[in-house]
Amino acid sequence: MTGREFLLDHLAVPGVQSLDGYRRAGGFAALTKALRSLSPAEVRAEISRSGLRGRGGSCYPSGLKVEAMAQAADPERYVVMNGEEGGPGAFKDGRLLQGSPFLILEGILLAGFAAGARHGICIIRKGAKDTRCRFQEAVGQMTEQGLVGTDILGRGFAFELRVEIGAGVFCCGEETALLESAEGRRGHPRVRPPYPVERGFQGHPTLVSNVETLANVPFIIDRGADWFRGIGLPAEPGTRVLSVSGHIRHPGVYEVPTGTPLRRVLELAGGARPGEEIVAVLPGGAVSGFLPARDFDAPVSQEGLERYGTCLSSGAVIVFSDRCCFVQVAQRLAAFFEQESCGRCTPCREGTARLREILEDISGPRRKTAGEGRRDAWREVPPPRPFALLEPLVETISRASACGLGRSAGVAITSALRLFPDEFAAHFERQECPRQVCWK
């Protein structure tokens, strides 16, 4: 074991889901170390020095976030675990939560200690009922053992934890929308600034962190920032846990140090399915742009992928083979954003609907029968000038929307337009589907 895939190695330890098993695997060593011999400022310095960045998609340096929290005047502070994972192709957080609940909880405690927070809220998506029950159990066990409560490990550190049901809505993955939903409101994003570290949950400073980010914290404190910096790229040290799905032989969760070529990830997942060839991937799920096969040497890292015009986001790698029609894929993506748009701001609410309409019109069944049998259905939508319309529409949505959902709604679609112009042209001009997916 090289220790380079430390998160998945940790999940593979037998019995690590139980409190005893977690202790045997070296669990709570970091918490003990922090409480016995380090001050909160030292823990913060260690996190900053490690260069850890948020794994939820923004890649914001975690050290800066924790420092900002510590600067806040309000003594009532919160740590919120964002387990509201729900984009297409994203399931790695669920795997981490299920595999080692105590690791995440230790991460929350450490983050709380560093930031001076006394309350932790774990938000787990509605669909994952088993995970939520297990978490509730885990919190109960920790309370019994004095790992959560008023005097943790006898060092006078007080922290309470509660587990809540997430809304199960994609837009609540955005941190301010998540907080709105946790406060019992509709999950509309807030205007930032102020950022949650200044004014978050019920107006108090709040550290909202992705599950994978929190999972890294105990390792950093236990093994030291220098060990962490030794993994992956200097600019974005550590590993990335990727959920690989789609047209791939073994869909699942994989972990690689940052900077690993994407090609290697696809090899780990078994490569293309028999008789197929991988044409493109979406390295960051629905919010990223397509990466064509010729660019598979791109490194797994935020900056590296940005150079190729896409992003890593939360690491939901969706693989597309030569069997799929990208017009249909684009249409499904647009439909997803339309469904998940929270409806607060007009560009996103209306724009995503129009986007889906345009794409459905060229890949749905009605275009083929235009004028024949389904006459009224055809009349609903004016004859599109799709090429002319799509680009400005995407531009408008991305510029005018209030949060990241709208801003990223068109990224994949524009990149598909750029990469597969022939396929789109065939649909738009000749009403043909070259892959015979939309129509035979």
Partner 1 sequence: MADPFDVVKGIIDRHDHDRSRLIQAMYEIQDTLGYLSDPILSMLAEGFRMAKSEVFGIASFYPHFHLKARARYTIRCCTSVVCEICGGAGLREAIRRHLRIRDGETTRDGLFLFRPVACLGACDQAPAIKINDTVFGGMTRERIPDLLQKVARNGLEGESA
| φ, ψ at 109 (rounded to 5°) | -60, -45
Dihedral of CA 37/42/47/50: which sign?
negative
d(CA 437, CA 289): 22
Residue nearer to partner 1 on the CB measure, 46 or 340 = 340
Binding string, 115-144, against partner 1, x = CB under 8 A? ----------xxxxx---------------
Nearer to partner 1, 24 or 185 (CB): 185
- H helices present in 13-100, as ranges: 19-24, 29-37, 40-50, 62-71, 92-99
Whole-angstrom distance, CA of residue 51 vs CA of residue 355: 39
C-beta of 251: minimal distance to partner 1 in Å? 4
Q: Is 378 exposed, middle or buried (0-12, 13-18, 19+ CB in 10 A)?
A: middle
Candidate residues 14, 154, 184, 275; the one interacting with partner 1 per rule CB under 8 A: 184
- CA geometry: angle 173, 174, 176, nearest 5 deg: 125
Q: How far apart are CA 385 and CA 283, in angstroms?
A: 30
Q: By three-state DSSP, how is residue 348 classified?
A: helix
Closest among 161, 165, 166 to 120, alpha carbons compared: 161
Bond preceding residue 251 cis, omega within 30 of 0 = no
Q: Does position 247 bind partner 1 by CB under 8 A?
A: yes
Question: How far, in Å, CA of 217 to CA of 7, rounded?
Answer: 11
Q: Among residues 150, 202, 369, 436, which is the contact residue for partner 1, using CB under 8 A?
A: 202
Judged by CB under 8 A, the residue of 161, 214, 329, 348 near partner 1 is 329
Stretch that binds partner 1, among 28-36, 73-81, 324-332, 381-389 (CB under 8 A): 324-332
Our CB check for partner 1 shows the closer of 142 and 244 to be 244
Q: Closest CB to partner 1 among 123 and 220?
A: 123
Q: Which residues inside 8-27 make contact with partner 1, applying CB under 8 A?
A: none
Site string for partner 1, 145-174 (x = CB under 8 A): -------------------xx-xxxx----
First to last CA, the chain: 51
One character per residue 269-298, x = contact with partner 1 (rule: CB under 8 A)? -------------x---x------------
How near is the Cβ of 20 to partner 1 at its closest, in Å? 27
Cβ contact 338:355 at 8 Å? yes
For residues 94 and 304, which CB has a smaller minimum distance to partner 1 in the complex?
Answer: 94
Continuous H helices in 380-438: 386-400, 404-408, 411-419, 421-430
Question: 157 forms bridges with which residues in the sheet?
Answer: 152
User: Which of these segments, 40-48, 97-105, 291-299, 331-339, binds partner 1 (CB under 8 A)?
Assistant: 331-339
Q: Which is nearer to partner 1, 127 or 194 (CB)?
A: 127
Which one, 51 or 89, has the nearer CB to partner 1? 89
Shortest separation between residue 221's beta carbon and partner 1, angstroms:
30
Q: Cα–Cα distance between 258 and 62 in angstroms, integer?
A: 16
**54: nearest Cα among 113, 4, 107, 117:** 107
Q: Which of 16, 66, 90, 109 binds partner 1 (CB under 8 A)?
A: 90
Binding of partner 1 at residue 304 (CB under 8 A)? no
Is 261 a binder of partner 1 (CB under 8 A)?
no
Residue 176 interacts with partner 1 (CB under 8 A): yes or no? no
Q: Which stretch binds partner 1 (CB under 8 A): 44-52, 287-295, 330-338, 414-422?
A: 330-338
Contacting residue, 48, 62, 141, 245, with partner 1 by CB under 8 A: 245
Considering only 21-29, 89-97, 109-117, 418-426, which stretch makes contact with partner 1 by CB under 8 A? 89-97
Is residue 415 a contact partner of residue 310, using CB atoms and an 8 Å limit?
Answer: yes
Q: With respect to partner 1, which residue has the nearer C-beta, 186 or 399?
A: 186
- Per DSSP, the three-state class of 344 is coil
Tell me how far CA of residue 131 lies from CA of 22, 83, 179, 295, 367, in angstroms. Answer: 17, 10, 21, 37, 44
State whether residue 39 is helix, strand or coil.
coil
**Identity at 308, one-letter amino acid code:** Y
For residue 297, give the amino acid letter: D
Q: Which stretch binds partner 1 (CB under 8 A): 22-30, 143-151, 205-213, 237-245?
A: 237-245
Contacts of 440 (CB under 8 A, 6+ apart): none
Near partner 1 by CB under 8 A: residue from 36, 155, 186, 379: 186
Q: Nearer to partner 1 by C-beta: 53 or 119?
A: 119
Task: Answer yes or no whether residue 377 interacts with partner 1 by CB under 8 A.
Answer: no
Distance CA(242)–CA(353), nearest Å, equals 30
Interface with partner 1 by CB under 8 A: which range of 23-31, 83-91, 190-198, 291-299? 83-91
Which residues of the chain form contacts with partner 1 (CB under 8 A)?
85-91, 94, 125-129, 164-165, 167-170, 181-187, 202, 243-247, 251-253, 282, 286, 316, 318, 320, 323-324, 328-329, 332-333, 335-336, 339-340, 342
